[in-house]
Chain A
Amino acid sequence: MDTLIQALINGTALGAQYAMLALGFSLVFGVLGVINLAHGGFYMLGGYFTYSLTSGVGLPFVPALILGVLGVALVGYLVELVLIEPIVDDHEGTLIVSLGFFLVVIAAVTVAYGPEAVPIEFPVSSVLRVGDAYLPVARLIVIAVAALAVLILWMVLFRTRHGVALRALAENREVASIQGLRPRVYFPVAVALSAGLAALAGGLVLPIFTLEPPVAEVALMTSFIIVVLGGLGSLLGAAVAALAVGLVEAIGGAYLDGSTTKLLLFSGVLLLLLLRPSGIAGRSVRDA
């Protein structure tokens, strides 16, 4: 029973982290119609920016994390403006360009920091004891921050004028453009928001686990499985799927080995596609 409680808490923390990752990925697809493979790179950059600002500049963890998130958001903004915008309507082209950027970022980080994991620690390492279960406070913080980030994203998208504009562009770009909304202004903002969310996940979570270049690939694969499961472009679907994947990984990991759990998860999602090709949310914001 205690193992299960422990797994539930770990799974929720994983799910919260995955939600931050997948919401950004889904947001960019929903608004731009672009599969942004650079997303895993933004996640990794969030971790490395935070690391540089804490160990290189000497900032405390929280300001370093905030600056890291802003820095990666700026990178995302520029990536959209320079690399994606010129071919934004070419779905395969943008996918390839973002993939190219992903490879370049991994190479750059490997050259700058080396292929091995860098030493970075989360500032809180205490553990709460509830009954016979031990709950790491760091994971509870991840859950709280992720919930706050998702809430802020929801408020931005649904309670602000700019959020309405983003959703309008996602719904029908032509009509939204005729109404005076400029995609060239809003698209980079959407990618910056998405990159910022990924960086927040990376900056917050990687110090708890391991910060090394291969995490980018793992994050990318995780984003894939979540958005495929949740329905590409559906924010609600992505959030639900992220939580589900996190819980399955943690609970499965408590009783099976990691590879088998992942194999079951990935196979399950592929089989689900037979029944619901558009994921559990049923209808995506935009057809792929």
Chain B
Amino acid sequence: MPRLLSSPASLAVSGRHERQAGRRLDRRLTMELGVISLLVGLLFLPLPAENLQLISQMNQAVMVLGAALAVYVMLRLNLLHFGVPAFMAVGGYSSALVAIHITDNVVALVAVSLVVPALVAVPFGLITLRLRGTYFALVTFLIGQVVHLAILASDRLGRTDGLTGVPAPTWGDVVMGDALTTFRLGLVVCILSALLVAGFMSVNSRRIDSLRSNEVLAASLGLRGWPIRLGSFVVSAAAAGASGFLVVNTLTTAHPSSFATLSGVNYVAYVVVGGAASIVGPLVGTVALVFLVAQFASEGVYASALLGGLLIFTSLFLRGGLTSTVRRIAEWLRDRRTPVPRASRQRRAVDEGQS
């Protein structure tokens, strides 16, 4: 073993792997910065206030982007998280309660929607993060159901009626109630969620990649997995909670049907269709599916069929989602122009498998 580790060949291999890992991190960081810059840019883009349909669709995408990011954070660890609606509900209901009973200050509401779900995620995380793979996925469904049932059983949360008449958030004397302001507030909250997710990912990127590729090996090298998994779960809950706040803010109602357990499928679909290799995947998937589904707004049942069909198609034919497929096509086209040595192609294939 010592001879193998210290041999020049193994050192060269380990150096190459480190360089590849470094390149992967750089690429991911660039993507994350790109997405955040895009969202910031959208804030300053002049939008036609009279085109309410466009603003409504953009707002819908912004509203659920946090939920997609919540799924993405856990999927980086190979954990499929269907319990996102539970944390959206916690964020949405807690901000609604604060808005109704304490203050409608926007900073307070956003802070509550980020912090309360993060705190609630800790005990749930302690229960679920011992589980792996598909078992984890099943149990996250149960978390969604527990929170949904808790809302239905609580008089304080309005049971099946929910909390109605939630006041619009305010910033000083400004009431943020119109469609355009709601959209821009949604963008700001999305940027916060994206920064939170990207920050956590950047700090823990190598650890997450290690856990993802071989957890046993990572543990044998001294990497403790549970703080990373719990941290991911908490960050995911915070992003979902912020998304829940946006849902409540848009509808001015915190209603249990907005956080139905099976709606977690939609957020997973956004990431699966978009791709989970980087933060671009959830963004692309969310925007694409929200706009596609909006075309069937009058016939929700077709939207459900479309979503199902896309999930099947992506899993069978577009492994890695839209973003990975586009990248593969781009690389294929580049390789056709400039033939790449076979060894290099093999290395890239290994590289892709890891990302």
Contacts and interface: CB of A to CB of B under 8 A. Distances in A.
The answer to whether A and B come from one shared complex is: yes
Interface string A208-230: 00000000010001001101100
B226 to A, nearest CB: 13
Contacts, number: 131
A103 B150 contact: no
B53 to A, nearest CB: 24
Given A259-B153, A271-B127, A108 B305 contact: yes
B231 to A, nearest CB: 20
Contact of A100 (B138, B150, B153, B312): B312
Interface stretch (B12-20, B110-118, B141-149, B196-204): B141-149
A87 interface: yes
B316 interface: yes
Contacts of A224: 138, 141-142
A173 interface: no
Interface string A259-283: 1101100110111011001000000
Contacts of A83: 312, 316
Contacts of A92: 78, 80, 133-134, 137
A106 B135 contact: no
Contact of B132 (A103, A266, A273, A288): A288
B25 interface: no
Contacts of A90: 315
- Interface-centre pick from B80, B124, B142 (highest chain A CB count, 10 A): B142
Interface in B295-314: 301-302, 304-305, 307-312, 314
The dominant DSSP class at the B interface is helix
Contact of A274 (B126, B135, B265): B126
Interface string A85-99: 011001111111101
A229 B128 CA distance: 14
Interface string B54-88: 00000000000000000000000010100000000
B150 to A, nearest CB: 6
B286 interface: no
A97 B310 CA distance: 9
Nearest to B149: A263
A178 interface: no
B134 A35 contact: yes
B134 A288 contact: yes
Nearest to A102: B308
- Interface-centre pick from A115, A224, A260 (highest chain B CB count, 10 A): A224
24 contacts: A86-B316, A96-B268, A96-B314, A99-B311, A100-B309, A101-B308, A101-B312, A103-B304, A103-B308, A104-B308, A104-B312, A106-B304, A107-B305, A111-B301, A111-B305, A217-B261, A221-B145, A225-B142, A232-B138, A270-B124, A270-B127, A270-B139, A270-B142, A288-B135
